[in-house]
Structure 1
Amino acid sequence: MSDQSMQHGQTDKDESWDLIIKSSQGSTLDISSVWKYRSLAWMFFKRDYTTLYKQTVLGPLWYIIQPTLISLTYYVVFGKIANLSTDGLPPFPFYMSGAIIWNFFSTCFVSNAETFSKNANIFGKVYFPRLVIPISVAMSGALVFLIQMVVLLLVSASIILSGQEMAFYFRFIVFIPLLLLYIFLAGVGAGLIVSALTIRYRDLIYVVGFLAQIWMYGTPIVYAFSQIPENYRWIYYINPMTTPVQLFRQALFGTPGIPAQLIVANSVIAIFIFAAGLKLFSRAEANAMDTV
């Protein structure tokens, strides 16, 4: 083989290597590459599912027990002791509907906020689009939501069959996937933002759980939106999680909705959060292994 052909072959290899480095360290995220690694996202999804309940007695039953216990706690504390309104709904469906919506958002937000710190060993060994990890986490959260959604439907059906008066609009369940997409954008976007910031500010890892708790109580989960004084409602209008919680209850139980312009505005906010998260995450991805 001639020196010229060897040099040409070496150049081809170098150019190919340059393309790989550019895709992993560029400031823009190649979304299409995530689809190519969808099987890896599925593998991480199964890993999270099996490790979460490995060597536990009840296993996946915790998906059912957790929202049930939370709803009972909310019922005692906020329903009986604080005597807060539930917009005419039986307390248990009211609290459970808010709890399962928030669980999905919390998974997308809090779990993804630690993407770089939790997966440093994997990231240091092999290259793949880092966005695969947050997507697999959201997939796990969506599965849990669907299971808990079935529990909520069974609870609602049992209440209706027992003779209690409660409206239920089964036909509007078809809109639930849109709400999940909305929560995915807001939750994963916020998680990506925090994850990118934790590369320089490690303390955020310890603060994010506390921030999520504050955010929850700033969302009409354990109290009805109608009970919020008019002069404070603007705070809830700029909270992107107000919209899915209210729409979820409205779709299932016919509770009072929210203005259409608020839905549009919060949808724009959710998209902006996701876009900002992608931008910051892709920038942080290049330097993550040097600082984490």
Structure 2
Amino acid sequence: MSSISQVTTIDLPDPSHKPAPSQANSSPSVFRIQPAQGWLSLGLKELWEYRELLYFLTWRDIKVRYKQTALGASWAVLQPLMTMVVFSLFFGKLAKIESDGVPYPVFSLAGLVPWTFFAYALAQSSNSLVQSANLVKKVYFPRLAVPIASVLSGLADFAIAFVVLLGMMFAFGVYPTWNILWLPFLLVLTLMTSLGIGLWMAALNVKYRDVRYVIPFLTQFWMFASPIAYPSSLIEDPFWRSVYSINPMVGVVEGFRWALLGTDTAPGPMLIVSTIAAGLLLLGGTYYFRQMEKSFADLV
């Protein structure tokens, strides 16, 4: 199997040239797919041209997720809720972790909702190319569509869990403030972080199949390195708070709490650092994915 192309060229015949009678029934057009030379483009224009394919891949992933399941969409609620119960018992009741003046169950769930989306998107996007091996080997299309669709499919679960979070907030007497207008930006930041690391892992997983075993460990480590069970306000030094914010999920989690719960710890500089880190992660992941794309059909 030849490598999947990144540049397509079409050789067309000269319109002024009249074919000989013996060539009248032959097809002079040649469609040649070849690897790109020199500096790679991100291929966003081509990806836009295949936007309908991106939609169908996203819808396919959503249907596969809930096909032949006993609880269906309830899984989108059970995972963050059960984790919230465990965190509330061990970190809230026993360890007495501070929660920035907010009831600990609401505090932890506000961090778990974006985190659960991130964890799902990372797991699905990292395995997306391997799971779509038959499609990748037989049909040409922008390979970026596969991990992007895996990430976007997690928005369905996020929407369901977010509604549950709002219900939990009202039950505890916590109401959103005008800061909630920042939520679309924070959701985009979550998408950037998920897709950025997902592109790195997806490309690496094609070449090194043991990457899939690293993902659960990486996700677990990343969760405890993010302020989900505890507030980032425990780090009082501004310099170390900025260093801590290099983890993009720090800005995401603290931003969600500030936007929804009205906590006094506005993310400010932390959100700026996390946004820059997420942007660099996404840009680097996209270029690495495009660099490795030419060998996907041979290795997958």
Q: TM-score range by the shorter chain?
A: 0.7 to 0.9
Structure 1 length-normalised TM: 0.87
Give the unaligned 5+ runs of structure 1. Answer: 161-165
User: 2-side partners of 1:4 and 1:142: how far apart?
Assistant: 58
User: 1-side partners of 2:286 and 2:97: how far apart?
Assistant: 39
Q: 1:239-254 counterparts in 2 under 5 A?
A: 239-254=247-262
Assess if the C-alpha contact under 8 Å between 1:243 and 1:266 holds in 2: yes
Deviation at 1:42?
A: 2.0
Structure number with higher helix proportion: 1
**Structure 1 residue 201 and structure 2 residue 214: aligned?**
no
Aligned-partner residue type, residue 242 of structure 1: V
User: 2-side partners of 1:111 and 1:249: how far apart?
Assistant: 26
Kindly tell me the number of residue pairs found equivalent between the two proteins.
Answer: 281
Deviation at 1:10?
A: 5.5
Deviation at 1:170?
A: 4.0
Root-mean-square deviation (CA), in Å? 2.6
For residue 257 of structure 1, give the secondary structure of its aligned residue in structure 2. coil
- Cα deviation digits, residues 176-215 of structure 1 (max 9, x gap): 1111111111210111012222233322221022111111
User: 1-side partners of 2:208 and 2:64: how far apart?
Assistant: 28
User: 2-side partners of 1:233 and 1:261: how far apart?
Assistant: 9
**Structure 1 residue 74 and structure 2 residue 91: aligned?**
no
Residue in 1 aligned with 2:194? 187
Against the structure 1 CA distance between its residues 5 and 276, is the aligned structure 2 distance closer, same or farther, given a 3 Å change threshold? farther
Q: 1:1-292 counterparts in 2 under 5 A?
A: 2-3=19-20, 6=23, 13-14=29-30, 17-18=31-32, 20-21=33-34, 27-160=40-173, 166=174, 168-228=175-235, 230=237, 233-258=241-266, 260-292=268-300
Give the unaligned 5+ runs of structure 2. Answer: 1-17
User: 1-side partners of 2:231 and 2:270: how far apart?
Assistant: 17
Deviation at 1:110?
A: 2.5
- Cα deviation digits, residues 2-37 of structure 1 (max 9, x gap): 349959x865x22xx23x5458xx943311222222
User: 2-side partners of 1:150 and 1:114: how far apart?
Assistant: 28
Assess if the C-alpha contact under 8 Å between 1:190 and 1:274 holds in 2: yes
For residue 29 of structure 1, give the secondary structure of its aligned residue in structure 2. coil
Runs of 4+ in 1 over 6 A off after TM superposition: none
Aligned-partner residue type, residue 288 of structure 1: F
Q: Which stretch of structure 1 is more off in the superposition, 82-91 or 213-222?
A: 82-91
User: 1-side partners of 2:47 and 2:19: how far apart?
Assistant: 40
Assess if the C-alpha contact under 8 Å between 1:193 and 1:281 holds in 2: yes
Aligned-partner residue type, residue 206 of structure 1: Y
Assess if the C-alpha contact under 8 Å between 2:179 and 2:258 holds in 1: no
Against the structure 1 CA distance between its residues 80 and 40, is the aligned structure 2 distance closer, same or farther, given a 3 Å change threshold? same
For residue 241 of structure 1, give the secondary structure of its aligned residue in structure 2. helix
Structure 2 length-normalised TM: 0.85
Assess if the C-alpha contact under 8 Å between 1:243 and 1:258 holds in 2: no
